[in-house]
Structure 1
Amino acid sequence: MSAAPSQFPPPVDSAKEFAGPPTDAEDERIEVGVAIVGGGQAGLACAIRLLQLLEDDPELTESLGEVPVAVIEKGRVAGAHQLSGGVMNPSAIRELLPDDDSWPHYGEVKRETVYFMLNRKRAVPLKPTPPPFKNHGNYVVSVAEVNRWLGEKAEEMGAYVLTETVGAKLLVDDDKVVGVRTGDKGRDKQGGEKGNFEPGSDVIAKATVLAEGNWGHLTGAALKVLDLAPKDPQVWALGVKEVWEVEKPFEKIVHTLGWPLRASGKWKEFGGSWIYGMNRDGETPKVSIGFVTGLDYTDARFSVHDVLQEFKLHPLVKKILEGGKRTAWGAKAIPEGGYWAMPTLHAPGMVIAGDAGGMVNVPKLKGIHYAIESGRLAAETIYKQLKAGSSDFSAYEKDIYASEMGKELYESRNMKQPFARGLIVGGAITNAMVVTKGRFPGGHWATHRDSESPLKLGTGREKRYPKPDGKYTFDKLSGVFLTGNATRDDAPSHIRIQQRVPREVGEGWAWMCPAGVYEVPEDAPEEGMIDLIVNPSNCVQCGAITAKGGRLTPPEGGDGPVYQIT
């Protein structure tokens, strides 16, 4: 038996719930010049570049009002929800801040190895290093640290960074985006008003930037309401990451392919691992380790978190971690649809930047500098158009596709799709694409929604996962504890799913979720429909459920993880 999650869509209507005209009285609205939704790399780079341009233009600055640039960030601090493998191309941050090289990092990549993992004991280095994995000149970073640094720079320059604030509704008037409405605070589980209730507000702006990251609900609403949908649907991967303090510095970066994933195309287990040394003078040496897998897999009991635990027991990996201590954990979905899944990036009064626009180079495993670059380009278009008295930001999209980023995304436009044929065949096709810069095989290889992959039970995949030993392997909830997640138990649920679903779908969500949000009841029938248990306070807002058939909606501002070094 099998069932596709897409057959059980979540009870949500983005166009009706998350977009509409302003509702506050005019004298109660908050007016800003530019409203940026999302305090990640894209949003903060946009704020910084705008303020650089406004510094020499007092006339335009004055016309934007008391708050020329506002950044609306749902996390407790800028960077609280930021997680990445963490090797950054420094070109974009140096372009943004050419006179300031003080951004935090853990050293330049000097040595790298790619291994093909044959089985649970053997690994073979791939020589020469496959082109997508060459990282000389890039830097190992904690994206949460880089993000906090960018937040401090933005505030120093005059940006109003509104943390613990959700952009809950896109304000659209006569097909023009005029701002966002922030989310309510202090509602109980049923949506009623608690004693500390604070209603949201309409934030009216001359320009709105959607830089929400990988599962932005306002971006989703904009795609429907403003007809911005891409040629192909977005597809995703899920990455689960740990940071370890280790006894001696690990002086290189490692990527792996193969085991513990199964090579057969029928399972669609596409992905791999990273191991990056994080070394900084005066600090205990650390290692960043994680596993990423595409979310179109078909085994209901596949779990990226548990695959990572299994991976750490390989002799190659275990030796690196020996004597060490796990100090951080996290999870995040990654847009992998590439060029064909990028939406229209502009509408009257609005642009979309960074991961919200699908700007990730899948074969090169790079997205941080794309986010920064897109934020900078968005700021430059917005500045020019506001100065001209216009809300037409279409030049931004042209600049994106004309940039080095746009060229690279086009060259890698068909990189993810061939792996549906299995690791070996997919790898061969992808290498041909890399060598020919996308010319062979060319054309348009379509993507298909992850939630359309039917999920099957009974493969026995789960029997391979190791039991937590508290030394090398750990359960999901111990990881959630390390994130600093403190979501209220009595807050309204921000997760929308159909809770009565076939067992295949229910188990698929339960095994997929790295934070233990979904549970199959012990007395649930072995076949047929089950009633799933949902624990929304565990959620680290990774976004995987949105890819796999459910939907995250706006949580209360300040909920979720508080990542430090992920």
Structure 2
Amino acid sequence: MTPQREQLEADVLIVGAGPAGLACALHLANLIKKHNEARAKTAGGAQLSPESIYVLEKGREVGAHQLSGAIMNPKALAELVPDYEKSAPLDTPVTDDAAFFFTKNSAYRMPITPPPFRNKGNFVVSLSKLTKWIGGLVEKAGVNLFTQFGGAQLIYEREGVAGVITEDKGLDKNGKPKDNYTPGYELRANVTVLAEGTRGSLTKQLVAAKKLDNINPQSYGIGIKELWDVQPERVQPGFVAHTLGWPVSTDMYGGGWIYGLSNGRLSIGLVIALEYADPQFDPHAAFQTWKTHPFLKQILDGGKLVRYGAKSLPYGGWYAMPRTYVDGALIIGDSASFLDSQRLKGIHLAMKSGMLAAETIFEALLAGDFSATKLSAFPQKVERSYIKEEMWAVRNFHQSFQSGLFGGLLHAGLQFITGGRGLIDPMRAHAGHEAYHKINGRPAPERFHGDGKLTFDRLTDVYHSGTRHEDDQPCHLVVADTNICSTKCLIEYGNPCQYFCPAAVYEIVQEKGAPQLKINAANCVHCKTCDIADPYQIINWVVPEGGGGPNYEGM
């Protein structure tokens, strides 16, 4: 039986309170304010209201699900909030940048830092703190910001999108109503903006339903991060280093970061492209192994782990960007692949995409026209902005590394000389999960356990992510056919979900003498890696009850 849902109407509904969604909301509210002030002086024309802008955030508070390295180029923030330096929580400016090549026991600093690793003028920030600050400005501007609500499904009308239905609350694990059951809201809007981050569940639905894919499938990476307190003299605030090499093999794409923050705090992490051949490769174990390198070990010795997290990134670039508009809807930020795949910088591009979306929506509100034709002004604005300039120069970059590190470096050098073209333009890509080689029954490797001081197992790290979910709710990790997991996948690929998940969500256990998939959904840190990297594409990540998930305070 279809539940009776309360219906709310808005001019604009933004799904996701990350840098893209919040920038969109704040810029649109500012445009409306200027419009209303001008109309008040001339006593003519209809006024708009920022209160008719709704923002949904599935985290328990704004910033709770925000994770990045993070090095931020401030130019989009300077456009959005011109006096940002007075109050924005920018931890420290970059004071020194370096690039290292690691072997197992040595670190070689490159004599000249390659251009993609140069960060002078940028800031080391906590994305969680930054979005929380912008969220306060959004609310102060009169926008309605609702936390602990996720977008569960799109409302389609005619050829386009008419809004979103939020998740039902108070269902038990079998989907039956509990005493606190509340059906999700039906939120209708003239324009719905999908700003869900990488592999957004609604964006995935919309791209598939409307066939919005580009010439390349999206490529993804996983970033695994820890925040440490270390002895202040070990790393200077503003020191930024990136590493290539050990323990990431040359047939894979990945590397590490070491960012010095203020007050002896350190951000470290490893990013790995989710397109490797060995289905039993464990990104979390690789990250923990990376920390045992002498260069890292001497920095971390005597320090303390503060926080842990993981998230996926859209590597695909310009040729993997979906069409970003349909009747009644826009796609922005990481959901739309606005990330510089060479520098792995996306905060400023996400924010700028949100601002350009706001300008498009403002024009649509004035015209009373929310058609795809009217909203197609958004990609045209992107084309004329520095988003196009940055992303076009690296349009073939990530694809170059799908055949290995050294071939990728050769292609990247040629692309640098030719303005991004290289030898092949466009360079095609394959979906990452297609890279797996079958293992055909190869024994499972021994799992990484950690020493509890420098290195940690996944459950210990999950504890440090602040993750929590209501246990008695429907599983938000929907596996289409679990028989494949216990039979075909077990033999052919050794159940990669046990290895690529950085939160120990998936296990193969013995029940009545037979292997069965066990899902520890309460551990999920919302990185979406399972939805991306499953070899059979039978795992569908959907929003759990709002307020669940990690708490990336300070990350």
**Is 2:495 the partner of 1:507?**
yes
- Aligned with residue 429 of structure 1, among 411, 415, 427: 411
Corresponding residue for residue 15 of structure 2: 37
Structure 1 residues 195 and 425, CA gap change in structure 2 (3 angstroms) = same
Q: Is the 8 A contact 1:184 1:556 kept in 2?
A: yes
Superposition pairs of residues 169-318 of structure 1, within 5 angstroms = 169-249=153-233, 250-251=235-236, 252-263=239-250, 265=251, 269-279=252-262, 284-318=263-297
2:18 aligned partner, one-letter code: G
Where in structure 2 are the equivalents of 1:92-171 lying within 5 Å?
92-101=76-85, 102-118=87-103, 120-171=104-155
Deviation at 1:506, TM superposition (A): 5.0
CA contact (8 A) 1:304 1:514 kept: yes
User: Which whole-Å CA distance do the structure 2 matches of 1:425 and 1:56 have between them?
Assistant: 52
- Higher mean alpha-carbon deviation, 245-254 vs 188-197, is at 245-254
The change in CA–CA distance for 1:286 and 1:474 in structure 2 (over 3 A counts) is: same
Distance (Å, rounded) in 1 between the aligned partners of 2:465 and 2:512: 31
Relative contact order, higher structure (CA 8 A, sep 6+): 1
Name the stretch that deviates more: 57-66 or 429-438.
57-66
1:330 paired with 2:296, answer no
**Residue of structure 2 in register with 1:348 after alignment:** 327
Structure 2 partner of 1:520: 508
Answering whether residue 345 of structure 2 is matched by residue 366 of structure 1, we say: yes
CA distance in 2, matches of 1:204, 1:358: 26
Q: Deviations over 1:281-336 (max 9, x none)?
A: xxx31110000001111212211111111011110111111111000000000011
Q: What is the CA–CA distance in structure 2 between the aligned matches of 1:424 and 1:49, rounded to whole Å?
A: 43
Q: Aligned partners of 1:301, 1:551: CA distance in 2, in Å?
A: 21
1:489 matched residue in structure 2:
471
Contact 2:89 2:125 in 1 (8 A): yes
RMSD: 2.1
Give the match's secondary structure for 2:322. coil
Q: CA deviation at 1:215?
A: 1.5
Please identify, of 427-436 and 533-542, the stretch whose mean Cα deviation from structure 2 is larger: 427-436
Aligned match of 2:25? 47
Q: 1:440 is paired with a residue of what secondary structure?
A: coil
Match of 2:429 among 447, 454, 472: 447
Tell me which moved more, 307-316 or 439-448: 439-448
Deviates most, 409-418 or 81-90: 409-418
Instruction: Quote how far apart the aligned CAs of 1:536 are.
Output: 0.8
Q: Quick check: 1:260–1:310 contact (8 Å CA) kept in 2?
A: yes
Q: Deviations over 1:465-493 (max 9, x none)?
A: 75411110001111111122110121110
The superposition leaves residues 82-128 of structure 1 with CA deviations (integer Å, 9 ceiling, x where unpaired) of 1111000000001111123221122111211101112x201211221
Does the residue aligned with 1:241 lie in a helix, a strand or coil? strand
Work out whether 1:558 is the aligned partner of 2:547.
Answer: yes
SS in 2 for 1:485: coil
CA contact (8 A) 1:46 1:379 kept: yes
Asked whether the equivalents of residues 33 and 64 of structure 1 are also in contact (C-alpha less than 8 Å), the reply is no
Instruction: State how far apart, in whole Å, the 2-side matches of 1:505 and 1:333 are.
Output: 22
SS of the aligned residue for 1:273 comes to strand
Q: In structure 2, how many angstroms separate the alpha carbons of the residues matched to 1:366 and 1:111?
A: 17
- Deviates further, 323-332 or 122-131: 122-131
1:455 and 1:508 in contact (8 A); partners too: no
* Conserved 8 A contact 2:57-2:148: yes
Instruction: Give the Cα–Cα distance (whole angstroms) in 1 for the partners of residues 69 and 457 of structure 2.
Output: 21
Matches of 2:15 and 2:331 in 1, distance apart?
10
CA distance in 2, matches of 1:152, 1:278: 23
Aligned counterpart, 1:542: 527
8 Å Cα contact 1:370-1:405 kept in structure 2: yes
Question: Match for 1:39: what amino acid?
Answer: A
* Alpha-carbon displacement from aligned partner over 1:139-165 (angstroms, at most 9, x marks no partner): 101111111111111011111110000
Q: What secondary structure is seen at the aligned counterpart in 2 of 1:356?
A: helix
Q: Which runs of 5+ in 2 are unaligned?
A: none
Q: Which residue of 1 aligns with 2:357?
A: 378
By how many angstroms is 1:170 displaced?
1.1
Decide whether the 8 Å contact of 2:222 with 2:529 is kept in 1: yes
In the other structure, the counterpart of 2:461 is 479
Q: Distance in 1 between matches of 2:309 and 2:507?
A: 20
The percent identity for this pair of structures is 39
Distance between the aligned counterparts of 1:434 and 1:114, measured in 2?
A: 18
Residue identity matched to 1:516 = A
SS at match of 1:128: coil
What corresponds to 1:4 in structure 2? none
Other structure's SS at 1:291 match = strand
Are the equivalent residues in 2 in contact too, given 1:178–1:207 (CA < 8 A)?
yes
1:23–1:202 Cα contact (<8 Å) kept: no
Give me the whole-angstrom Cα distance separating, in 2, the residues matched to 1:192 and 1:360. 41
Q: Per-residue deviation at 1:551? A: 2.0
Distance 2:494 2:164 in 1: 34
Task: From the superposition, tell whether residues 228 and 444 of structure 1 become closer, same or farther in structure 2 (CA, over 3 Å).
Answer: same
How far has the Cα of 1:445 moved from its partner?
A: 1.1
Q: How many residues align?
A: 530
SS at match of 1:93: helix
Asked whether the equivalents of residues 29 and 50 of structure 2 are also in contact (C-alpha less than 8 Å), the reply is: no
- What is the identity, as a one-letter code, of the residue corresponding to 2:408? G
Give 1:433 shift.
1.4
Q: Deviations over 1:502-536 (max 9, x none)?
A: 215453110110000001225799xxx95321111
Bigger shift: residues 489-498 or 308-317: 489-498
- When residues 460 and 257 of structure 1 are mapped into structure 2, their CA distance, relative to the original with a 3 A threshold, is farther
Q: Which moved more, 1:159-168 or 1:452-461?
A: 452-461
Hey, what's the Cα distance between the residues in 2 that align with 1:461 and 1:83?
Answer: 31
The separation in 2 between residues aligned to 1:135 and 1:276, in whole angstroms, is 11
User: C-alpha distance in 2, partners of 1:65/1:367?
Assistant: 30
Q: Which residue of 2 aligns with 1:13?
A: none
The residue number in structure 1 matching 2:366 is: 387
Q: If the length of structure 2 is used for normalisation, what is the TM-score?
A: 0.91
Q: String of CA shifts for 1:68-89, please: whole Å, max 9, x gaps.
A: 2110111111111111110000
Distance 2:443 2:493 in 1: 16
* Alignment partners' CA distance in 2, 1:519 and 1:277: 36
Q: In 1, distance between residues paired with 2:417 and 2:177?
A: 59
Q: Which residue of 1 aligns with 2:452?
A: 470
Distance 2:95 2:418 in 1: 26
- Give how far 1:176 is off: 2.2
Q: TM-score, normalised by structure 1?
A: 0.90
